[in-house]
Structure 1
Amino acid sequence: MSTNNALTPGKWIIDPAHSTLGFVARHLMVSKVRGRFTDFSGTLIVNEDGSAHAEAEIRVDSVTTDNDQRDAHLRTADFFHAEQFPTATFKSTGFRVVGDDFVVDGDFTIRGVTKPVSLTVEFLGVNPGMGAGPVAGFEAKTVISRRDFDITIDMPLPDGGTVIGDKITLDLEVEVGLQG
């Protein structure tokens, strides 16, 4: 069977084996560093009336950029302060249709700081799955300011600019499965 656009009411759970929670940051003002989190969970509740609510929790100590030294630095108080703030969370506050996409508004918390964010979401459809029930796919993106979340390290460069840029792109690819 092929995909369709019928998202059945119920509780949908993120499948971390088929999902990626990634980010992109500017490095030295001229290139980009990509990273992801490997330990996360989340739910999407779709109600009978079509309304929905989404939540996610991310273990920030699971950050990886494929560079052990950089990853260790990202876990420190300079960045995620993983020892004091082990999780980042997202809780939706609303869903809107914008053109062919959806926008999911919500509260995003990093380092104990909560700020509103809006994720532009592309719904990829529903598939009957491989025997464990239906699955659905989404791609979502937003840009945040790391300074808004109290990640204020700048590491200035001698000729101007900083080692890491302020704007961070969050790039999510999520597969969810309907729970029985």
Structure 2
Amino acid sequence: MTLATTTIPGYLAGTWSIDPTHSDISFSVRHMMVSKVKGRFGSFSGTIVTGATPAQSSVTAEIDLNSIDTNNAQRDNHIRSADFFEVEKYPTMTFRSTSVDSDGEDYLVTGDLNLKGITKSVTLKLELNGIGPDAYGGTRAGFSASTEISRKEFGVDIDMPMDGGGVVIGDKISIALEIEAVLDAA
């Protein structure tokens, strides 16, 4: 089922650029089997193309893996190393949508996520937060999205066992996006 565009206040077909100053891409991962470490990426870009209907829309994004920030420089440098992202060889992570489907009032955006040269299909649960004018004469749209991936499926397969069982770093990575996009001038 596809929602008609008339049910989405302010919906406009067009090309939108992600505003990195007003957006956030963050993640969390289980640490030492007892807590979660959170981090974010400070440098990314992307384009959203809204079609005549939401199902005809698409998104592409690129994340600079060097921009990782977990609030600990030593850990960040380790994550950039060959043990994790291997940023000298694979400096970016990319996403290219392949479909947009409705999920009640929200959407499921499925696409190809590429990390460390490995591409896997990933589905983001997406909420359209709103569309409206900005203070500069333009139009903005806001989105929240989330998904979970297995780091091992993307070649980030370091295992650091703990004495007594368990591992230092969990396999499942929760990803959260808060995206604000600006409609490109025609």
TM, length-normalised to structure 2:
0.93
Q: CA–CA distance in 2 between the matches of 1:144 and 1:133? A: 35
Contact 2:10 2:132 survives alignment (8 Å): no
Shift in Å, 1:158: 1.1
Between the aligned partners of 2:113 and 2:9, the Cα distance in structure 1 is 27
Unaligned runs of at least 5 residues, structure 2: 1-7
* Deviation, structure 1 residue 9: 1.0
The equivalent residue for 2:5 is none
State the distance in 1 between where 2:105 and 2:123 align.
Answer: 16
Matched, 1:126 2:131: yes
In structure 2, the residue matched to 1:173 is: 178
Separation in 2, partners of 1:53, 1:76: 32
Partners of 2:9 and 2:121 in 1: CA distance: 28
The offset of 1:99, in angstroms, is: 1.5
Percent identity, please: 47
In the superposition, the TM-score normalised over structure 1's length comes to: 0.96
Instruction: Tell me the residue number matched to 1:112.
Output: 117
* Structure 1 unaligned spans of 5+: none
What is aligned with 2:85?
Answer: 80
Structure 1 counterpart of 2:3 = none
Tell me if 1:160 matches 2:165. Answer: yes
Count of matched residue pairs:
177
Ranges of 4+ aligned residues in structure 1 off by more than 3 Å: none
Corresponding position of 1:37: 41
SS of equivalent residue, structure 1 residue 17: helix
Q: Is the Cα contact below 8 Å between 2:100 and 2:109 reproduced in 1? A: yes
Residues 155 and 149 (structure 1), Cα distance of their counterparts in 2 relative to 1, 3 Å cut: same
